[in-house]
Structure 1
């Protein structure tokens, strides 16, 4: 019974065709961002594996940063949503495992495109601690999609409790380190709280 349950959880990971489709969707997002005029890499001219200074012009310009943890959580949440929809997809026929990750990549890619639109960039500047936020480089956006896929894979491999613990741990870790996390990011973007904004700014 336990082995059957584990195989069922892992079955949401795609085969080679699903992975190929996910990669093609991610590349299409990158191409769309280039057409939007986004910089392919940091305007500083380098690509670093990690950038840890939130309040700087190079934040969200390199491969990984403090917000990469949030994108891993995206993957955990997307996997949970796909798993909850498993029975519905099964009733519709076809192979849900072939579609789950590509759909997750499409959703993440849509957010990356929206996040790098003038509307959201200006919103971030107006109501969050990201006053100088100028959007992501294309490299950073593709890396964000990759971190989401990592979270999706982890959710497929880990027990549910471990996935929940990982998400909570990442949220608490980034809250301590930079006074920000996925929860606060969404809250401040949708319904800003001035007291939180002052606290995040160290006021």
Structure 2
């Protein structure tokens, strides 16, 4: 009896690309704007209190998506030790793509607007969602190659930087979505 062939790394990377493409197609299908309605694309948009936030390729929240990659790498390294890097990346990409889909649902958009300082948030452009998924891929890749201490230092640094500069970040975003605090919202609005 011959051993069954296993899918190699190429299949995992093709699946990862397909997940990203399907997420983009779904977001277009549900009516998300392909690019900023302003009509142009910028590499970086640094103004958080703007209708162009989450509409361009990258913004302050891109750092949170890199941290997602760090966290997914850590979790999958321990939860799926026998899987290759490529298959773990596919799983992480699926989770991140599902988050982008959920984050751009009417219910979550309304939740953001109700409990955070993002009063003008109407969802991400498809371009921004794809870039967010790719930021997670970058974080996943970095976490696989950097020493643990450096990955942790980058995560803490990214969080500290965004909290300092825009009074928001991954931890505050999760806190305000799950358990909104008036004191935090007032502090963020005082920017």
TM-score normalised by the chain length of structure 1: 0.88
- CA distance, structure 2, for counterparts of residue 196 and residue 38 of structure 1: 29
**Structure 1, gaps ≥5 residues long:** 1-13
**Structure 2, gaps ≥5 residues long:** 1-7
**Contact 2:54 2:124 (8 Å CA) reproduced:** yes
- Regions of 4+ moved over 4 Å: none
- 1:126 to 2:114 alignment: yes
Superposition pairs for residues 68-83 of structure 1, below 5 Å? 68-83=62-77
Superposition pairs for residues 47-196 of structure 1, below 5 Å? 47-87=41-81, 90=82, 95-196=83-184
Equivalent residues, number: 184
- CA distance, structure 2, for counterparts of residue 86 and residue 201 of structure 1: 41
| CA RMSD of superposed structures (Å) | 1.2
Shift of 1:22: 0.6
Shift of 1:97: 2.9
- CA distance, structure 2, for counterparts of residue 31 and residue 186 of structure 1: 26
Superposition pairs for residues 20-39 of structure 1, below 5 Å? 20-39=14-33
Shift of 1:18: 1.7
- CA distance, structure 2, for counterparts of residue 174 and residue 19 of structure 1: 31
- CA distance, structure 2, for counterparts of residue 97 and residue 24 of structure 1: 17
